[in-house]
Structure 1
Amino acid sequence: MAGFLLYEQAGHVVTLTMNEPDRRNPLTGNNAVQDFQAAIARIENDASVRAVILTGAGNAFSSGGNVKDMERHAAGELNGMQIRQEYRQGIQKLPLALFNLEVPVIAAVNGAAIGAGLDLTCMCDIRIASTHAKFAESFVKLGIVPGDGGAWLLPRVIGLARAAEMTFTGQVIDAEQALAWNLVSRVVAPEALLPTAMALAEQIAANPPHAVRLAKRLMREGMHTRLDTLLEMSAAYQALSHQTPDHAEAVAAFIDKRPPVFKG
């Protein structure tokens, strides 16, 4: 896949690389959203994909919105309804697509994840940071609000109080503070970032893919639904899982004390 997003597959793992390093991998003013939608549709329709790694080329993960592109808004070239439609048909399609992808996604944060770039990491399931990474919910510094779902995503990752602190101040935090605040689960040396992400992706991909996908769906639904509703969904998903060949293989392998072979 050419363009903003590079698509590479090795075994059951797809690596998506944002590839506008000279502009610090912005998510607006280019084809980023369309490329993400195309990649996500490709992954959803490919049963061989069991895990995804998302990273950025160059020194930045993603600088978020293209500030130069915002000049049109500041200059009054568009009215309010036109700007609203730009958001609805543009950047807001990204969280709906990526957050709801059933295949687990690991954000390998190689550098700055700023504004929508930070929110992009929160659309993923797991975040691993290089020691060079830094994070900011910086919309307030430009006199705007998170227009990409960050006000919903960030509090669910790090809690309301810390999300409020980042959102209201626009402060930049480094990788170690991100680790302390549970924004990321690991901090590694730059040269170890992609190997660490790949090792984790392969560990995920080694499990029965239906179980991983359904578990992710339950976790996503659990973020905004009632316990009794989630229990009903869990019972239905469990009934499906018990009838799969991979479940039978897992039980047989456990009893036979041998490694299982999952076919998906």
Structure 2
Amino acid sequence: MAEALLVERRGPIAILTMNLPETRNALSDALITALVRYLGSANADESLSCIILTGAGDGFCSGGNLKEMQDRTHPMYRGSPYEMGEAYRTNIQQIPLAFERLDVPVIGAINGAAIGAGCDLACMCDIRVASTKARFAESFLRVGIVSGDGGAWLLPRVVGMPRAMEMALTGRVIEPQLAEAWGLATHVVPPEHLMDKAIEIAESMLAFPPISIRLNKRLMKRSAEMSLRDALDLAASYQAIAQNTTDQREALAALLEKRKPDYKGR
């Protein structure tokens, strides 16, 4: 049986490929477990500077498995309301929590349809590059449910509340060009250039100190949930950490000496 998640390292860049093309990479238990496990260990890997997440086959991620939902074969779709709620908490909701704890930047290479929880998964990425074959839909109402994996929190922060409302309450499919205009994608490229563009963005990050990259991501995400005063206090603390690293001094020296920096991750 094929691995649900493939991991390829290209130096400091990790390419994660959801590898269930027969279901358009629906979020199976195996895929959820593998994704949460990898993301949970990524912060501890000092050699890792960026993650690219994509899907095998024609789809990025089709969300939940509709057959399991219909047959009630998964704990998320059977039992008492309490049991079902607990199943969501211990299963699919572990994905957004893993992303929330992650300091390593994640680029979503959206190769095809990102539907339902797949759309939410795309929103968990820090940057999204979309193929011209990509499609986005917050389509939970099509099967009579709500987003159980954080979409109601994630989507408005990406596209704004009115657009998120339209997507959630109509199930509208968002084409790539509109996705770019709405902020669901930062770039739209032909399918054959998708990974090249994602890697180009990832490699552009490698020009900077890895610790500072992580601190910048953490500061941006945490500041979005804080008052200005609290965000300024946090920024002062992170600034003090960054300026006490060897790499910050190397970055400054390289800039002044007009040479390429040599970072040590310290």
When normalised by structure 2's length, the TM-score is 0.95
Contact kept, 8 Å, 1:99 with 1:124, in 2: the verdict is no
What's the % identity of the aligned pairs? 48
Aligned length: 262
Cross-structure match for 1:9: 9
1:132 corresponds to 2:133: yes
CA distance in 1 between counterparts of 2:41 and 2:226 reads 29
Cross-structure match for 2:24: 24
Question: Which piece of structure 1 moves more, 89-98 or 34-43?
Answer: 34-43
Q: How does 1:84-163 map to 2 (within 5 A)?
A: 84-163=85-164
Contact kept, 8 Å, 1:7 with 1:39, in 2: the verdict is no
What SS does structure 1 have at the residue aligned with 2:118? helix
Q: How does 1:230-241 map to 2 (within 5 A)?
A: 230-241=231-242
Contact kept, 8 Å, 1:13 with 1:205, in 2: the verdict is no
Q: How does 1:1-264 map to 2 (within 5 A)?
A: 3-28=3-28, 30-73=29-72, 77-264=78-265
Which runs of structure 1 show a deviation greater than 4 angstroms over 4 or more consecutive aligned residues? 72-77
- What amino acid is aligned across from residue 47 of structure 1 in structure 2? E
Change (3 A) 1:6 1:74: closer
Give the superposition deviation at 1:206. 2.5
Give the superposition deviation at 1:241. 0.7
CA distance in 1 between counterparts of 2:220 and 2:184 reads 17
Deviations 1:92-126 (A, max 9, x none): 00000023210000000000000000000111100
What SS does structure 2 have at the residue aligned with 1:8? strand
Give the superposition deviation at 1:77. 4.2
Contact kept, 8 Å, 1:13 with 1:51, in 2: the verdict is yes
Deviations 1:236-256 (A, max 9, x none): 110011111111111111221
What SS does structure 1 have at the residue aligned with 2:261? coil
Change (3 A) 1:152 1:77: closer
CA distance in 2 between counterparts of 1:88 and 1:72 reads 21
Change (3 A) 1:72 1:89: farther
What CA RMSD, in Å, does the superposition of the two structures yield over aligned residues? 1.5
What SS does structure 2 have at the residue aligned with 1:31? helix
Question: Which piece of structure 1 moves more, 75-84 or 55-64?
Answer: 75-84
Give the superposition deviation at 1:74. 10
CA distance in 2 between counterparts of 1:38 and 1:154 reads 24
CA distance in 1 between counterparts of 2:136 and 2:253 reads 46
- What amino acid is aligned across from residue 57 of structure 2 in structure 1? G
Give the superposition deviation at 1:82. 1.2
- What amino acid is aligned across from residue 245 of structure 2 in structure 1? T
Deviations 1:50-75 (A, max 9, x none): 00000000000000011111124499
Give the superposition deviation at 1:207. 1.1
